Chain A
Amino acid sequence: MTPVLEIDDLRITYRGSRGEIPAVRGISLRLEPGDTLGLAGESGCGKSTVAGAVLRLLPVGTDVTGRIVLDGEDVLAMSFGRLRAVRWAGASIVFQGAMHSLNPVQRIARQIAEPIVLHEGLSADAAEKRAVELMSQVGLPAWRARSYPHQLSGGQRQRVMIAMALACSPKLIIADEATTALDVMIQAQVLTLIKKLVAERNIALIMISHDLSVLADTCARLAVMYAGKLVEQGPSNEVFADARHPYARALSAAFPTVGDPAERRNPHGLAGDPPDPSALPTGCSFHPRCPVAMNECATATVELRRAREDWQAACLRVEEVA
């Protein structure tokens, strides 16, 4: 079976006002049809950058090296026309904060229907019908079809974006913080819908979120990024419950448990400054903040190591950390 997505040693460097920013520094991923991958990590570690690269949506002038193969085709070598076609039918991305990119002066059903008309050649009426159907699947009643974006709440707009991504039956869906504005009930409904699609149509899913419990619930595998690299990858429930990499552990530990008196009025984060991509620490880039760092962490090159069958972590102390 050809994998839906294969990313090989992807490196991405932005050139912007802050100089060169190596946002992604060597990432490899592979998704077969039906695979679901959760991607978590520090804010600014490069998750959205990876997502953008898959459809070549990064700003002009950004350095991208490595290989991205989408359903057998090399994305970096694709012609523009081909890319356009792939952008809806091959893979679709729900972007972070995309709810504000809805056209403010067009009714939402039209906006959902537009890619269906363009890529599936349905008539405008049939496409709108399908759009209304999709809307009801994400919990928006039919009369909302005639709303303008400003008449919707944040979560409702986010659901419009999700409906739009599902519109063209893509082979790969990337959802970047797509459920941040949804309450647990609607979120569960949307996640169930996505899971059902993954199972029925055998598509692949990459879900980016800060909410590890959402990822553990929706995805079979979980990957954690830090400073542009994968630091852990493994079966999601196990990574969630018992991560190997100290950063991944900190992530799940920082999750508050309602009812736990120790966490009442006591939010805690991770000590130290977030990494500055243009001046990364030597050795393991997590070492200045790592609670269990050793001397050699500051110098050694740390690559992903096998922690267990099907489970890797980039830490010198993979075996010990528990």
Chain B
Amino acid sequence: MSGDGTSERSGRRSEERAQPPAEQARSGAQPTSMSGEEPATVNGDANTTGGNGSGTAKLRSARSIVWARRRAALAGFWRLYRVQGAGMAGLGILVAITLITLLAPLYSDESELRASNAPGGRMESPSTEFWFGTDQVGRSILTMVIWGARVSLQVGLVAALLAVTLGTLIGMAAAHFGGWISWLLMRLTDWFIVLPNLVLAIALVIALGPSKVTIIVAIALTSWASTARVVRAQTMAIEGRPYLERAQALGAGHWHQMTRHVLPNLMPLVLASATLQVSSAILAEASLSFLGLGGPEMSWGTILERAFSAGAISVGAWWYMLPPGLAILLVVLAFTLCGRAMEVVLNPRLRGN
């Protein structure tokens, strides 16, 4: 990877330029160095660890100032986020769901999820005791949905994290190393983008055997491509900046350029992309589980699948299908709202001022 040819990328400044990444374009509107630079502080240090290496050891007192700046940057981020109604609604939903899920052991009993320990009768309709009714073996749907959230969210978050990491690495590599590496990675990306994700995931899960880990891997492997594509475009735009040339002129290698300059500048984009990715991962998990490819743990998708196979539709047990379905919808909506709001804050152009 560090052959002579690729290392210097003499073609970097030629034709092959990034497509307009939304973020980059300052829309040619007032070319200001002042206002142009200012958003960087807002989104900058909110989410990066910045560049403090070994030398900071001696800057002890300085470190606290750096942290104060980060806090201020976070506060700036928050100020812009807070005014967005939809984003705040999404955040509210997420906080509520997180609390309900995390505190579940305090107010409900996991053992009631075992069929042998079911507290109610078969397919009872909603009542004051069982708010959402019961399933075919008498378990409370509400308890199932609450405990199912743990698996659904876990799979969604981990799979999204994996997918975004993979996509970021591949996108950066494709942009940074020109030549055949870039060509190969981009073909691979295009291929994954056009392939139907779900079909591929199903095939993967069947091949690897259904389990929580397989599902996570399958989702991650089938959904990194879109991240890779935006990351590549953004990386190319960042690499066109003179400060990368300065770093190069100082003798910086690929690793330094990537970790000190490109990645911190990519972070806002990656973060927003990750948030959106969680929604699709949760949906994917639900679909796989619904198709009976879930693991033994109960997730929202699994509940739906059981409802379906227990003939909930034919007996008109709407309470069996509706709660997990609504839960999925709500979480997906919440993550999407948050992701969009973050994009708006981090991308000055969408902010419209």
Is the Cβ of A95 less than 8 Å from the Cβ of B34?
Answer: yes
With contacts A98-B33, A161-B31 taken as known, whether A104 is within 8 angstroms of B242 at the C-beta atoms is no
Contact B20 A105 (CB under 8 A): yes
Asked if A97 CB lies within 8 Å of chain B CBs, one says yes
* Cβ contact within 8 Å between B33 and A105: no
Q: Assess whether A106 is in contact with B20, with CB atoms less than 8 Å apart.
A: yes
Report whether A164 and B31 are in contact in the complex, using a CB–CB cutoff of 8 Å.
yes
C-alpha spacing A101/B69, complex, angstroms: 25
Chain B contact patch, size range:
20 to 34
Chain B nearest Cβ from A54, distance in angstroms: 12
Range, interface on chain A:
20 to 34
Closest chain B residue to A165, Cβ basis = B31
Question: Could you say which of B17, B32, B38, B353 contacts A95, with CB atoms under 8 Å apart?
Answer: B32
User: Could you tell me if A105 and B31 are in contact, using CB atoms closer than 8 angstroms?
Assistant: no
Check if A17 sits within 8 Å of B240, measured CB to CB: no
Q: Which residues of B contact A (CB under 8 A)?
A: 13, 17-21, 24-36, 38, 41, 65, 69, 237, 240-242, 353
Q: Do A105 and B32 form a contact, CB below 8 Å, given A17-B69, A59-B38, A60-B38?
A: no
> Is the pair B30, A88 in contact by a Cβ cutoff of 8 Å?
yes
CB distance from A185 to the nearest CB of B (A): 25
Q: How far apart are the CA atoms of A201 and B28 in the complex, in Å?
A: 25
- Considering only residues 172-225 of chain A, those with a C-beta below 8 Å from chain B are none
Provide the bound-state CA to CA distance between A154 and B210, in Å. 59
CB neighbours (8 Å) of B240 from chain A are 104, 150
| Chain A nearest CB, measured from B118 CB (Å) | 58
**Which chain A residues lie closer than 8 Å to B65 at the CB level?**
17
Could you tell me the distance between the alpha carbons of A114 and B31 in the complex, rounded to whole angstroms?
12
Nearest CB of B to A16, in Å: 9
In Å, the complex CA distance between A161 and B32 comes to 11
CB-CB nearest in chain B for A151: B13
Q: Which residues of A contact B33 (CB under 8 A)?
A: 95-98, 100-101
Instruction: Give the docked Cα–Cα distance between A25 and B21 (Å).
Output: 41
For B28, list chain A residues within 8 Å (CB). 102-103, 106, 110-111, 114-115, 164
Q: Give 1 or 0 for each of A137-151: 1 = CB within 8 Å of chain B CB.
A: 000000000001010
Q: Pick the contact of A103: B13, B26, B38, B41 (CB < 8 A).
A: B26
Decide if A55 is an interface residue (CB 8 Å cutoff): yes
The answer on a CB contact under 8 Å between B25 and A106 is yes
Specify which of B17, B29, B34 is in contact with A115 (CB 8 Å cutoff): B29
- Contacts A17-B69, A59-B38, A104-B240 aside, 19 further interface pairs with beta carbons under 8 A come to A52-B34, A55-B30, A58-B34, A59-B34, A93-B30, A93-B32, A94-B31, A101-B32, A103-B28, A104-B17, A104-B237, A105-B17, A105-B18, A105-B19, A106-B25, A106-B28, A118-B29, A150-B17, A164-B28
Chain A residues with CB under 8 Å of B30's CB are: 55, 57, 87-88, 93
Contact residues in B for A60 (Cβ distance below 8 Å): 38
Question: Which B residues are in CB contact (< 8 Å) with A104?
Answer: 17-18, 24, 237, 240
Inter-subunit contact B38/A101 (CB<8 Å): no
List the A side residues contacting B38 at CB < 8 Å: 59-60
Docked CA distance A98–B17 (Å): 21
Report whether A100 and B35 are in contact in the complex, using a CB–CB cutoff of 8 Å.
Answer: no
Q: Could you say which residues of chain B place their CB within 8 Å of the CB of A97? A: 33
Knowing A80-B353, A150-B240, the reply to whether A103 touches B25 (Cβ < 8 A) is yes
B137 to chain A, nearest CB (A): 59
CB < 8 Å neighbour of A105 from B24, B35, B69, B242: B24
Asked if residues B31 and A101 are in contact (CB atoms below 8 Å), the reply is yes
The minimal Cβ–Cβ distance linking A79 to chain B, given in whole angstroms, is: 12
Cα–Cα distance between A101 and B36 once the two chains are bound (Å):
8
Of all chain B residues, the one with the shortest Cβ separation from A105 is B20
State how many angstroms separate the Cβ of B29 from the closest Cβ of chain A. 7
> B242 touches which one: A94, A96, A100 (CB < 8 A)?
A100
Q: Are A102 and B17 in contact (CB under 8 A)?
A: no
A83, B27: Cα distance in complex, Å: 17
Q: Which residue of B lies closest to A96 (CB)?
A: B33
B30 to chain A, nearest CB (A): 5
List residues of chain B with CB within 8 A of the CB of A48: 34
A68 CA / B242 CA spacing, docked (Å): 35
* CB < 8 Å neighbour of B32 from A57, A106, A110, A150: A57
A98 touches B31 (CB 8 A): yes
A57/B31 in contact, CB under 8 A: no
Provide the bound-state CA to CA distance between A94 and B36, in Å. 13
Q: Which residues of A contact B24 (CB under 8 A)?
A: 103-105
Interface residues of A in 63-98 (CB under 8 A from B): 80, 87-88, 93-98
Report whether A57 and B34 are in contact in the complex, using a CB–CB cutoff of 8 Å: yes
Complex Cα gap A55–B32 (Å): 10
Minimum Cβ distance to chain A for residue B175 (Å): 13
| Distance of A97 Cα from B35 Cα, bound (Å) | 13
Closest residue to B240 on the A side, CB-wise? A104
Specify which chain B residues have a CB less than 8 angstroms from the CB of A98 in the assembled complex: 31-33
CA distance A93 to B31 in the complex (A): 8
A-B contact pairs, 10 of them (CB 8 A): A59-B41, A60-B38, A80-B353, A93-B30, A95-B32, A101-B36, A102-B31, A104-B237, A105-B17, A164-B28
Q: How far is the CB of A227 from chain B (nearest CB, A)?
A: 20
A150 in contact with B13 given A57-B32, A98-B33 (CB within 8 Å): yes
B31 touching A95 by the CB < 8 A rule?
A: yes
Cα A59 to Cα B72 in complex, Å, equals 14
Q: How far is the CA of A48 from the CA of B35 in the complex (A)?
A: 12
Residues of chain A within 8 A of B17, CB atoms compared: 104-105, 148, 150
Q: Which of A251-275 contact B (CB under 8 A)?
A: none
| Chain B residue with the shortest CB-CB distance to A108 | B28
Question: For A111, what are the chain B residues with a Cβ–Cβ distance below 8 Å?
Answer: 28
Report B-chain residues with C-beta under 8 Å of the C-beta of A87.
30
- Among A94, A96, A114, contact of B29 (Cβ-Cβ < 8 Å): A114
Which residues of chain A come closer than 8 Å to B241, judged between CB atoms? 100
Give chain B nearest CB distance to A40 CB in angstroms: 19
Convert A96-133 into 0s and 1s, putting 1 for each residue whose CB lies closer than 8 angstroms to a CB of B: 11101111111000110011001000000000000000
Question: B13 contacts which chain A residues (CB < 8 A)?
Answer: 150
Partner of B35, one of A57, A88, A114: A57
Q: How far is the CB of A195 from chain B (nearest CB, A)?
A: 23
A residues 40-58 in Cβ contact with B at 8 Å? 48, 52, 55, 57-58
